[in-house]
Amino acid sequence: YYGLSTRGSSAFRIRIMTNSEAKSIENNPMIAPTEKDAQFINETCEYGDGIWSQGLGGIFVNDVLSVLDAKKNLLTQTLKNDACDYAVGQDASYCDRSQGPLTVSSITDCCAACDDDCQAWIFGTTDNLEPNCWTCSSISGGEA
């Protein structure tokens, strides 16, 4: 979950929360500006859902976080965090399994098996290896 707002007259604030019921941190002196917050509206555009503040710009979220200037030009964007990116020839020395070992038909199917409890996955490529996919709630120790 995330929360988007303006902070003061010239800044955006992004809060990343573990759930939609996260408590407010408005009164923290580290982030409480003395000037009034800029007005904003909720908006949806090609960059996703976000907020727009006339004269300031906007921040939008879909698969990435995008920051736009006051003329709606893209200023910067985070990199997409794709859990299905993988490094060939890498392995982990320890894996806390999030579910039992699986037999799947492809590396894409192994990635798709990585559910909410899964932080990483390991796909075995040896022919006729069963099982060939391990989903992990945590891993440690990389090996090449």
Structure tokens at 103: 């037999």
What per-residue confidence (pLDDT) applies to 83?
Answer: 60
What pLDDT is stored for residue 31 in this prediction? 55
Q: Check: pTM over 0.85? Answer yes or no.
A: no
Contacts of 119 (CB under 8 A, 6+ apart): 98, 136, 137, 138, 139
- For 24-83, the pLDDT digits (tens) are 555 555 555 567 888 899 999 999 999 999 999 999 998 788 999 999 999 998 876 566
Is 59 exposed, middle or buried (CB count within 10 Å of its CB: 0-12, 13-18, 19+)? buried
Nearest Cα residue to 97 out of 121, 69, 74, 77: 121
Question: In this predicted structure, what is the pLDDT of residue 74?
Answer: 94
Region of residue 18 (phi > 0: left; psi between -120 and 50: alpha; otherwise: beta): alpha
Q: How far apart are CA 53 and CA 91, in angstroms?
A: 46
Is a pLDDT exceeding 60 seen at residue 90?
yes
Q: Quote the pLDDT of residue 10.
A: 84
pLDDT at 21: 59
pLDDT at 69: 94
Q: What is the mean pLDDT of the chain?
A: 79
Taking only Cα atoms into account, the Rg of the chain, rounded to an integer number of angstroms, comes to 21
DSSP string, 5-22: EE-TTS-EEEEE-SSTTP
Q: Name which of 56, 64, 59 is nearest 39 in CA terms.
A: 56
